[in-house]
Amino acid sequence: MEEKKEMSQDQKDELIKKELEEAEILEKKLASERRDEVSRMVADLEKENSDREDQENKETEEPDREKKAEEILRRVNQKKQEEEEAKRAAGIEENPAAGSRRRKKGSGKGKKTAAVIAAAAAVILIGGYFAAGLRYRNAFLPGTVINGADVGGKTAEEVKDLIAQGINTYALTLLERDGKTETITKEEIGLSAGFDGSLEQIIGSQDPNTWLMAMIRGSEYNIEAMISYDSASLAERINSLECMKEENIVPPQDAYVSEYVSGQGYSIVPEVEGMELNPDLVLKKAEEAVQSLRTELSLDEEGCYKEPAVKSDDPQLKERADNLNRYVNVTVTYKFGDKQEVLDGDTIHQWLITDGGNMDISLEGVKGYVQTLATKYNTAYRAKTLKTSYGPEVTITRGNYGWRIDQAAEAEQLIGIIRSGESQEREPVYAQTAASHGPNDYGDTYVEINLTAQHLYFYKEGKLLVESDFVSGNVARGYTTPPGAYPLTYKERNATLRGQGYASPVSYWMPFNGGIGMHDASWRSSFGGTIYKTNGSHGCINLPYAAAKTIYENISKGMPVLCYNLAGTEQRSTTQTAPQTQPQTQPQTQPATETQPAQTPPPAETQPPVETQPAVETQPQTQPAPGPGETEAPAGPGDQVGQNPDEQAGPGVGL
């Protein structure tokens, strides 16, 4: 049996050396792996925390950072314990006094190798983290900010040197809104360094082994004792700045709605930022800058300028401009025949009333505009020129025939249109209309009554339809029929004309001037000439039956009746007609019952009945006074004939 050779001492030493080299290589490899493992652990923890934040609706950040740091420390300690247990399991004992390792009995070469590896791992794991903390025994932990400056990793002396260097060359430059700059030097404010041991106290209170948590959480200090300056001198220097002088101050201006611009309407005028500083805020920001040795201070970025209270993006301001523009963008085109009046923002803007946030339209302004239209386009109560059937022209100055705008109703309509914001073409609301908007508002259908000649013409659409003599008001008794242009009020068949003491039935009743009208006169057999001067009516136009019938059948409410006097046209001759069978006027002792005349002309009689006059004489209705925008024309030819204004008009008073 072959006997084992025992290793020489040199061989043993060589083997141990080789094992140590392998252990060193393994140590480096483990160190790299541990660093990667720590990085992975941090990454894993960050991912876990991120997932947890999503599930818990992202709770506050600071507790998460603390948890993260605590978890890393827990895992590091866990690894440390695991390595120690592995070391004991491998049979390695530490001899603190000798500082050497001792192999237990019975352990072999394999146990020695395992012990070396376990020890190396423990050193790397524990020593790697705590070795990193050694550098913070005399330096500020990472994330430490003092007076606004990051001093992490620096010693107290290094921070003092930085502060001293900063003070030696310090000057604070103020950046102003208009691009100008002003400088405050250290000499002007008595700036100097002053240290009271606060830096050293901060370092002494630190736990270097919490560097990882400090890196995550950070810490901030404000030490006034490090920087010394004269507060009063700084305040005085701030007040003496050029930007603080009154002549250089431009106050801010609020945004506002512009005045109305023709063709453009209203717009928002942007705010003006101005150049007015808040002195107290400037001083506060300057003190903060000096304490942290900042060399530049932007007054605009720090919010030191006074700001406008209302800016162009203000919702209420925009709403106000929109409302104003909705009104002034309305165009109302009034049509008056071939003429028109255009109402637009150039006029409407003058009616807009603003009171704070409220806005309205001036009713008085609208009424004034409508009255202007009435003054310009109303033709009622205005003089009219008529080319008579006799040739000459006459001017009819009295009467209410013509266009007349209902001003109150139109003003109400117009305000509603403006408020709606809808443009439109329209005619105004009329209280009374006429035939034409042309030069002659009576058109080509009218009754022409020559009171001097006692003769009338009825034209329909420009063609002569009726020509007849008539008998008008009794001049001798003061019942002269007044001239003027009037619209037919209405027409009525088989009416009874009543006055004091009489009632006279007529077949065709056509009033046009109060109680004055045209009607058939069955009691007459002669018409025209000068009958009217002594044996005329109470003011009405008495017509032969046939003429009254034809006129009645072709005339309608509102048609013009034009009465005038024309010198030189008086006639002596009369027209004889067969009288109609008609009840005679009876004196009344009690209210009369209205009777209906026959519908067809009765047989002719040889002698016409004599026209009787009622005991009490009444007078035709006087003209109503014109309203706003309705100017009565001056008196002209034919207006001199008298009327008694004290007598009342009514149906039949002009019989």
pLDDT for the residue 86: 64
Range name among 170-174, 224-228, 414-418, 635-639 with the lowest pLDDT average = 635-639
pLDDT for the residue 588: 35
pLDDT at 598 over 60: no
CA angle 478/479/481 to nearest 5° reads 130
* 304 assigned to active site: no
Q: Cα dist. 619→158, 167, 584, 641, 642 in Å? A: 122, 114, 21, 13, 10
Distance CA 446, CA 460 (A): 7
Are residues 377 and 427 located together in one domain of the fold? yes
Mean pLDDT along residues 288-300? 92
Strand partners, 342: 333
Closest CA to 512 of 481, 533, 537, 536: 481
* Structural tokens at position 479: 């019942």
pLDDT for the residue 102: 43
H or E, element range at 132: helix 109-134
Range name among 34-43, 361-370, 458-467, 508-517 with the lowest pLDDT average = 34-43
Give just the sign of the alpha carbon dihedral 229, 231, 237, 238.
Answer: positive
Range name among 7-21, 169-183, 239-253, 459-473 with the lowest pLDDT average = 7-21
SS3 23: helix
pLDDT for the residue 138: 86
Range name among 76-90, 181-195, 500-514, 550-564 with the lowest pLDDT average = 76-90
User: pLDDT, tens digit, for every residue of 22-46?
Assistant: 756 765 665 565 556 555 655 665 5
pLDDT at 253 over 70: yes
CB 470 within 8 A of CB 455: yes
Split at pLDDT 50, 70, 90, the class of 15 is confident
pLDDT for the residue 53: 56
H or E, element range at 564: strand 560-564
CA dihedral (122, 124, 126, 127) in degrees, to 10, reads 130
Residue 425 belongs to domain spanning = 317-381+402-432
Are residues 206 and 241 located together in one domain of the fold? yes
Distance CA 521, CA 222 (A): 119
pLDDT for the residue 628: 52
Residue 552 lies in a domain: no
Split at pLDDT 50, 70, 90, the class of 227 is confident
* Structural tokens at position 223: 């030490």
pLDDT for the residue 613: 34
Question: Which carries the bigger pLDDT value, residue 214 or residue 23?
Answer: 214
SS3 156: helix
Residue 260 CA, distance from chain mean position: 14
343 DSSP 8-state letter:
E
pLDDT for the residue 12: 66
Give just the sign of the alpha carbon dihedral 564, 567, 568, 570.
Answer: positive
Q: What percent helix, strand, coil does the chain show, rounded to 5? A: 35, 20, 45
Residue 541 lies in a domain: no
CB 229 within 8 A of CB 318: no
pLDDT at 3 over 70: no
CB 150 within 8 A of CB 218: no
pLDDT for the residue 19: 66
pLDDT for the residue 307: 94
pLDDT for the residue 89: 59
**Catalytic hit among 243, 519, 538, 563:** 519
Distance CA 91, CA 107 (A): 7
| Top-ranked range on mean pLDDT: pick from 39-48, 62-71, 218-227 | 218-227
Q: Cα dist. 396→383, 473, 540 in Å? A: 6, 19, 19
CATH of the domain at 410: 3.10.20.800
User: pLDDT, tens digit, for every residue of 372-397?
Assistant: 999 999 999 999 999 999 999 999 99
Number of structural domains in the chain? 3
In this prediction, what percent of the chain has a pLDDT beyond 90?
A: 53
Mean pLDDT along residues 487-507? 91
Residue 646 lies in a domain: no
pLDDT for the residue 4: 47
pLDDT for the residue 610: 31
Distance CA 349, CA 257 (A): 13
Are residues 354 and 377 located together in one domain of the fold? yes
* 540 assigned to active site: yes
Distance CA 45, CA 39 (A): 10
Range name among 196-210, 278-292, 435-449, 517-531 with the lowest pLDDT average = 196-210
pLDDT for the residue 481: 97
pLDDT at 536 over 50: yes
pLDDT at 599 over 50: no
Residue 84 lies in a domain: yes
Are residues 330 and 232 located together in one domain of the fold? no
Are residues 19 and 50 located together in one domain of the fold? yes
**Catalytic hit among 243, 349, 538, 540:** 540
| Top-ranked range on mean pLDDT: pick from 217-221, 521-525, 582-586 | 521-525
pLDDT for the residue 52: 58
Distance CA 542, CA 587 (A): 20
Distance CA 506, CA 493 (A): 8
Residue 113 lies in a domain: yes
Question: Which carries the bigger pLDDT value, residue 436 or residue 26?
Answer: 436
Average pLDDT across the chain, whole number:
79
In this structure, the chain runs to a length of: 655
CB 568 within 8 A of CB 486: no
Residue 362 lies in a domain: yes
pLDDT for the residue 136: 87
Are residues 149 and 287 located together in one domain of the fold? yes
Are residues 27 and 166 located together in one domain of the fold? no
Q: Left (φ > 0), alpha (ψ -120 to 50) or beta: where does 381 sit?
A: left
Residue 505 lies in a domain: no
Q: What's the first-to-final CA gap in the chain, in angstroms?
A: 177
Are residues 38 and 113 located together in one domain of the fold? yes
Amino acid at 229: Y
Are residues 114 and 149 located together in one domain of the fold? no
In this prediction, what percent of the chain has a pLDDT beyond 70?
A: 71
Split at pLDDT 50, 70, 90, the class of 608 is very low
CA angle 75/76/77 to nearest 5° reads 90
Q: How many CB atoms lie within 10 A of CB 361?
A: 17
Are residues 285 and 158 located together in one domain of the fold? yes
Q: Cα dist. 30→121, 126, 212, 453, 472 in Å? A: 6, 12, 21, 141, 139
pLDDT for the residue 211: 86
Split at pLDDT 50, 70, 90, the class of 107 is very low
Strand partners, 484: 563
Mean pLDDT along residues 103-108? 44
SS3 265: strand
CB 286 within 8 A of CB 297: yes
Mean pLDDT along residues 344-349? 96
Are residues 154 and 221 located together in one domain of the fold? yes
pLDDT at 620 over 60: no
Are residues 130 and 171 located together in one domain of the fold? no
Q: Left (φ > 0), alpha (ψ -120 to 50) or beta: where does 162 sit?
A: alpha
Q: State if pTM tops 0.85.
A: no
Residue 211 lies in a domain: yes
Mean pLDDT along residues 214-237? 85
Question: Which residues contact residue 261 at a Cβ distance below 8 angstroms, ignoring those fewer than 6 apart?
Answer: 267
Split at pLDDT 50, 70, 90, the class of 614 is very low
Range name among 62-71, 106-115, 323-332, 487-496 with the lowest pLDDT average = 106-115
Distance CA 320, CA 38 (A): 64
Tokens 């255009």, located at residue: 342
Residue 29 CA, distance from chain mean position: 75
pLDDT for the residue 9: 73
pLDDT for the residue 70: 66
Q: Which of 432, 454, 471 is the last residue of a domain?
A: 432
CB 513 within 8 A of CB 399: yes
